[in-house]
């Protein structure tokens, strides 16, 4: 599969998975896909335009680092979960003046205290993101947010 074909698959998968895009953004993305499909000389420009529109959004395939094998629907759910968890971490860290002195970095990360709330939040979110990705890859989790919530009867 060519770079363009892979790109188109990723974009279409993301468009199907996310509910957070306005109709205007979706229209512009689809127009850029159309341009790239019909004019090979415009593909690079179309790709840059689409990446600019979609980067920084929950579940986007356009992030720093290696490509993931996790489908867009699961990436979107992981990002939503991490957003909720991140807000809770911020509240937890800032709950009391004492909290920054009770939260220690892992020994492999150098140990000691976190220098600020952002450092704590990023470290904890990375652990959660890795755990959820691993659970999906091993089949422990189906990638759906609802399956993480236990029924009251269970």
How large is the average pLDDT for residues 121-129?
92
Q: For residue 12, give every residue at least 6 positions away whose Cβ sits within 8 Å of its Cβ, in sequence order, or none.
A: 33
Question: pTM higher than 0.85, yes or no?
Answer: no
Tell me, yes or no, whether 103 lies in a domain.
yes
Residues 30 and 85 in one domain: no
Domain that residue 26 falls in: 3-54
Q: How many CB atoms lie within 10 A of CB 62?
A: 17
Residues 34 and 78 in one domain: no
Residues 85 and 139 in one domain: yes
How large is the average pLDDT for residues 25-48?
95
First and final CA of the chain: distance in angstroms?
45
Residues 131 and 81 in one domain: yes
Please tell me the predicted confidence (pLDDT) of residue 57.
85
Averaged pLDDT score across all residues of the chain: 88
- Name the band, by pLDDT with cuts 50, 70 and 90, for residue 65: low
Residues 77 and 47 in one domain: no
SS (H, E, C) 19-78: CCCCHHHHHHHHHHHHHHHHCHHHHHHHHHHHHHHHCCCCCCCCCCCCCCCCCHHHHHHH
Residues 79 and 49 in one domain: no
What's the pLDDT tens digit per position in 38-62? Answer: 999 999 999 999 999 998 887 788 8
Please tell me the predicted confidence (pLDDT) of residue 153.
56
Residues 90 and 129 in one domain: yes
Residues 46 and 78 in one domain: no
Tell me, yes or no, whether 62 lies in a domain.
no
Tell me, yes or no, whether 29 lies in a domain.
yes
Tell me, yes or no, whether 152 lies in a domain.
no
What's the pLDDT tens digit per position in 133-142? Answer: 999 999 999 9
C-beta of residue 60 within 8 angstroms of C-beta of residue 21: no
Residues 137 and 82 in one domain: yes
Split into its structural domains, the chain has a count of 2
């Amino acid at each position: 599969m060519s770079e363009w074909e892979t790109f188109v698959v990723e974009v279409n998968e993301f468009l199907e998975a996310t509910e957070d895009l306005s109709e205007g953004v979706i229209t512009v993305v689809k127009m850029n896909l159309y341009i790239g499909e019909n004019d090979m000389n415009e593909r690079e420009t179309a790709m840059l335009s689409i990446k600019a529109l979609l980067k920084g959004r929950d579940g986007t395939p356009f992030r720093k680092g290696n490509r993931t094998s996790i489908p867009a629907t699961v990436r979107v759910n992981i990002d939503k979960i991490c957003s909720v968890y991140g807000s809770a971490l911020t509240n937890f860290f800032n709950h009391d003046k004492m909290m920054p002195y009770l939260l220690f970095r892992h020994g492999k990360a150098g140990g000691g205290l976190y220098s600020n709330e952002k450092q704590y939040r990023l470290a904890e979110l990375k652990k959660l993101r890795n755990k959820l990705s691993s659970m999906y890859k091993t089949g422990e989790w189906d990638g759906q947010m609802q399956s993480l919530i236990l029924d009251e009867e269970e």
